[in-house]
Amino acid sequence: MRMCALTPSSCLPLHLTQVFHGFEVTKFVGLNEEPAGSIHRPEFAFLSDVRKVNILRHIFCSIYPAIDPTPLFAGRAFQGKAVLVTSASRGIGAEIARHFARAGASVALLARNQVQLDDVKAGIEAECPGVHVLVLVADVKDPAKSASAVQATVQAFGRLDVLVANAGAMRPNGTRSGSVDPVEWRDTVEVNLRGPFNFIHSSVSHLQKSNGYVVAISFAGAQVRIPTASDYSLSKHAINGLVEFVPIGLYIYLFPLRSLNYDTYRVS
């Protein structure tokens, strides 16, 4: 079983790199799409739209042959594989699920909003005829529902090959730690840290059988002290540590945030 915390600068095994980096480029700087929403924050108002796009192109790079997912789509490289994506009702999660489906994988979409999940499912089925799509409604903070969702995925597809722990939360207001509502602060940490743990915990035995992957979505801000986002930065920093704690006896593939290479470690 392989585990990693993924940011745009992370390095994944080639076939996953192609799916994820292809997604990052087409989603954030693709044709007919606006730049990522975060670049439209007020503090970036002095930048022109062209400059914003150029910044994002610099951050996310361009699609080049080594990370181009097109061959995976054409060859249906994930045919027979099963992928579970949390927070798949919109945004990054929905796009990740769509890209895996285009590569032939059966995908389980999990989130709290049934209507949005059904819309994503309909879109995938229209774009990828024949692909199996499962919709699961659950809160990632609930251990019992997380376990049930993993079990439902395995029952539906017969296996689990990739878990994408994508669910995340960030407070919309810019409140410093000394003034933030403690309940809101705790909720962010629980979604960002407890959520991935719940699904990793429930998926381990199935991923051992398939020699599968866990991908936990991290954030470069995990290494930065953001005055108004201590809960978000702290929880994302913790995710980077969580992926290093895997069951004894398994191989670990670590993907450092500041490196384009990965090292293989053995836990004993």
Domain count along the chain: 1
CATH assignment at residue 231: 3.40.50.720
Instruction: Give the burial class of 240: count Cβ atoms within 10 A of its Cβ; 0-12 exposed, 13-18 middle, 19 or more buried.
Output: buried
Of the CA atoms within 13 Å of residue 95, those in its CB half-sphere come to 13
**Which of the four pLDDT bands, split at 50, 70 and 90, describes residue 46?**
low
Q: How far apart are CA 204 and CA 201, in angstroms?
A: 6
**Which of the four pLDDT bands, split at 50, 70 and 90, describes residue 221?**
confident
**Which of the four pLDDT bands, split at 50, 70 and 90, describes residue 25?**
very low
134 strand-pairing partners: 108
Question: Residue 245 sits in which domain range?
Answer: 2-12+76-266
Q: Is 55 within the bounds of a domain?
A: no
| Terminal alpha carbon distance of the chain | 15
Q: How far apart are CA 64 and CA 58, in angstroms?
A: 14
Q: Is 38 within the bounds of a domain?
A: no
User: Would you call 27 a catalytic residue per the annotation?
Assistant: no
Which H or E element spans position 189?
helix 182-189
Q: Is 50 within the bounds of a domain?
A: no
Q: Is 28 within the bounds of a domain?
A: no
Instruction: Give the burial class of 171: count Cβ atoms within 10 A of its Cβ; 0-12 exposed, 13-18 middle, 19 or more buried.
Output: middle
Q: How far apart are CA 33 and CA 266, in angstroms?
A: 43
Which residue of the set 232, 251, 253, 262 is catalytic? 232
Work out whether the CA dihedral 6, 8, 9, 14 comes out positive or negative.
positive
Q: For 130-140, write each residue's pLDDT tens digit.
A: 999 999 999 99
User: Would you call 232 a catalytic residue per the annotation?
Assistant: yes
Nearest partner of 39 among 30, 14, 48, judged by Cα: 48
Q: How far apart are CA 188 and CA 209, in angstroms?
A: 32
Q: Is 26 within the bounds of a domain?
A: no
Q: How far apart are CA 242 and CA 236, in angstroms?
A: 10
Confidence at residue 1, expressed as pLDDT on a 0 to 100 scale: 52
Q: Which of 35-44, 88-97, 210-219, 224-233 has the lowest mean pLDDT?
A: 35-44
Q: Is 57 within the bounds of a domain?
A: no
Q: Is 46 within the bounds of a domain?
A: no
Q: For 125-165, write each residue's pLDDT tens digit.
A: 999 999 999 999 999 999 999 999 999 999 999 999 999 99
Q: How far apart are CA 119 and CA 122, in angstroms?
A: 5
**Which of the four pLDDT bands, split at 50, 70 and 90, describes residue 16?**
low
Which residue of the set 27, 81, 121, 236 is catalytic? 236
Say if residues 17 and 67 touch (Cβ distance below 8 Å): yes
DSSP label at residue 146 = H
Q: Is 43 within the bounds of a domain?
A: no
In degrees and rounded to multiples of 5, residue 86 shows phi and psi of -85, 155
Cα distances (Å, whole numbers) of residue 103 to 84, 93, 165, 169, 226? 14, 16, 19, 28, 37
Nearest partner of 136 among 100, 80, 92, 83, judged by Cα: 83
Say if residues 237 and 24 touch (Cβ distance below 8 Å): no
Residue 88 CA to chain centroid, in angstroms?
Answer: 9
Dmax over CA atoms of the chain, in Å, equals 53
